[in-house]
C-alpha cells in the first residue's frame, strides 16, 4: 500500500514542522509541511490527506495564551472541513503547542461536542521547563501509542500543566482516554513529583486521546527523540551497550509514535 499522506501544519510561529516531517518520513509516511494560509485560502485541501499534525512551536507567540490564537484561526478558517476530517477514518496528532491547540478547539477530549473541556496552563513551577522525562503508556484506544511501554522523550514548554474539572477527569479515566502519564525512574506514575512530572499536570497526565483513539495530543516532543543519538543519555547507554557486546540502536523511543500512525493505514 502507498505511504499515508501526512499534512504537517506550519506558519505563524510553528517551529517543529521540519523535524516532524522527518520523523514521519523515517516511519514510512509521506509528510509535507503545509502553511496554514494555503489551507484556509484553498490552495491545499484538508480532505486530500490522511494524517493531520499540529506540531510544536509558539504559534502567534502565545500572546493570548498557548494555542488559543491558532485554534481560533483554524476554527473560523476551516470551519466544517476540520470536523469532517476528524470524523472520518483519519488521524490527528497535536504535539506540545499542537496539544494546546486541540484542547482549545475542542477536538480533545470530545470532538463531537466541539467544546473545550480541558486545557494546558502555566507550569506549577511558573517557569519554562526543558528536560527529558519518562512517560508511561497507559491502556487506552490510542492508535499512536499501541504496543509501546515506558518511553523517554523531551519536554519544552511554559504552559504544559494539564487541567480539567473533576467530572471531566473522571470521564477521561472511565473511558480510558489518558494515553500517557509522566513516570518516575521505576516506570510508575510520577505522583505529581517534580521533576518527573515537569509541570504539575493533574494525575500526571502527559497525553490524552479521544474515545476512538484516532485523535491524540501530548506535551512531550517525540519528533525530537527519533534517533538514538538524540537521547540525552546516549553516551552512557552507548558505553553500557558496548561493554555488553551489543550493537547501538539506530532509533529512539519517539519513532514508535509515528510508526504506529503509519501502520494504521497499512
5-226+252-263 belongs to CATH 3.40.50.880:
yes
Structure confidence at residue 1 (pLDDT):
60
Structure confidence at residue 100 (pLDDT):
96
pLDDT at 204 over 90: yes
The domain spans of the chain are: 5-226+252-263
**Residue numbers annotated as active site:** 96, 221, 223
C-alpha 170/C-alpha 164 separation (Å) is 9
What is the mean pLDDT of the segment spanning 206-216?
A: 98
pLDDT digits (tens, 9 = 90+) for 64-84: 777 899 999 999 999 899 999
With a CB cutoff of 8 Å and minimum separation 6, the contacts of 222 are: 23, 95, 151, 153, 253, 254, 255, 256, 257, 258
What is the mean pLDDT of the segment spanning 203-207?
A: 98
pLDDT digits (tens, 9 = 90+) for 104-133: 999 999 999 999 999 999 999 999 999 999
What are phi and psi for residue 182, nearest 5 degrees?
-65, 140
What is the mean pLDDT of the segment spanning 166-172?
A: 98
pLDDT digits (tens, 9 = 90+) for 136-149: 999 999 999 999 99
pLDDT digits (tens, 9 = 90+) for 46-69: 999 999 999 999 888 777 777 899
Give 135's pLDDT tier (boundaries 50, 70, 90).
very high
State percent of the chain over pLDDT 70: 100
What is the mean pLDDT of the segment spanning 10-23?
A: 95
Structure confidence at residue 261 (pLDDT):
98
Amino acid at each position: 500500500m502507498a505511504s499515508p499522506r501526512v499534512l504537517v501544519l506550519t506558519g505563524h510561529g510553528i517551529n517543529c514542522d521540519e523535524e516532524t516531517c522527518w520523523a514521519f518520513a523515517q516511519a514510512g509516511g509521506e509528510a509535507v509541511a503545509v502553511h496554514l494560509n494555503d489551507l484556509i485560502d484553498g490552495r491545499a485541501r484538508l480532505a486530500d490527506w490522511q494524517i493531520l499534525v499540529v506540531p510544536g512551536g509558539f504559534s502567534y507567540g502565545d500572546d493570548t495564551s498557548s494555542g488559543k490564537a491558532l485554534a481560533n484561526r483554524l476554527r473560523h478558517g476551516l470551519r466544517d472541513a476540520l470536523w469532517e476530517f476528524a470524523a472520518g477514518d483519519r488521524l490527528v496528532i497535536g504535539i506540545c503547542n499542537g496539544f494546546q491547540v486541540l484542547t482549545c478547539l475542542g477536538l480533545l477530549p470530545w470532538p463531537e461536542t466541539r467544546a473545550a473541556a480541558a486545557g494546558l496552563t502555566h507550569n506549577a513551577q511558573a517557569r519554562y521547563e526543558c528536560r527529558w522525562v519518562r512517560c508511561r503508556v497507559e491502556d487506552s484506544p490510542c492508535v499512536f501509542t499501541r504496543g509501546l511501554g515506558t518511553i523517554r522523550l523531551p519536554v519544552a514548554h511554559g504552559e504544559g500543566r494539564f487541567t480539567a474539572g473533576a467530572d471531566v477527569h473522571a470521564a477521561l479515566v472511565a473511558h480510558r482516554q489518558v494515553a500517557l502519564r509522566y513516570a518516575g525512574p521505576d516506570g510508575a506514575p510520577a505522583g505529581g513529583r517534580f521533576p518527573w512530572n515537569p509541570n504539575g499536570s493533574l494525575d500526571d497526565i502527559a497525553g490524552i486521546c479521544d474515545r476512538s483513539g484516532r485523535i491524540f495530543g501530548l506535551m512531550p516532543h517525540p519528533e525530537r527523540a527519533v534517533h538514538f543519538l538524540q537521547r540525552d543519555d546516549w553516551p552512557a547507554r552507548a558505553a553500557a551497550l558496548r561493554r555488553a557486546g551489543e550493537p547501538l540502536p539506530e532509533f529512539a523511543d519517539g519513532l514508535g509514535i509515528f510508526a504506529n500512525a503509519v501502520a494504521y493505514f497499512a
